[in-house]
Amino acid sequence: MTALLHKKSGRQASSPQFEPRDVSSRLVLLATLGLFLGLGLSVLIAFGLLWWVTPDPRPPQPGFGSRQAAGPRLEVSPSADRDLLQRRAEQRLQGYGSVDREARTAHIPIDRAMAILAARGWPDPDEREEGR
């Protein structure tokens, strides 16, 4: 049948239409062995790195004459500490005070600062330098 097809197309079949040799079984075996050896070596390297990087689970032993560190400083009442911090921040934001006496810099309440900026406008950098 193939001879008829080749005669119709005008070409001659000089070589067979299949692979004349199979792949060497030795080559397939060596490639598979190399693949598994590489995989095993990769796993060993990964476990070695994990073992090397993982810290020692035992706590360090104190040496001669060393003092044991005190425990962490814990908040007794977190809600009271938060309330105190918030009250201090509110006082600073809503009150008047000096930031730097030598540079004559002060802080004022936010509402007052917004009213001043609305009345005077945003200062230009050139005007700021002349004012000093």
Query: Which portions of the chain are predicted below pLDDT 50?
Result: 1, 4
**Using CA atoms, how far apart are residues 57 and 86, in angstroms rounded to an integer?**
40
Residues 14-26 have pLDDT tens digits of 666 777 678 888 9
Q: Which pLDDT does position 72 carry in this prediction?
A: 76
Token pair, residue 45, equals 């390297």
Q: Which pLDDT does position 66 carry in this prediction?
A: 60
Q: Compute and round to an integer the Cα radius of gyration of the chain.
A: 42
**Using CA atoms, how far apart are residues 55 and 23, in angstroms rounded to an integer?**
50
What does 66-97 look like in DSSP terms, one character per residue? PPPPP-----S-HHHHHHHHHHHHHHHHHS-E
Q: What is the pTM of this model?
A: 0.33
Q: Which pLDDT does position 8 carry in this prediction?
A: 54
Token pair, residue 113, equals 């600062």
Matching residue, tokens 């005008």: 10
Residues for the chain: how many in total? 132
Q: Which pLDDT does position 94 carry in this prediction?
A: 86
Q: Which pLDDT does position 78 carry in this prediction?
A: 86
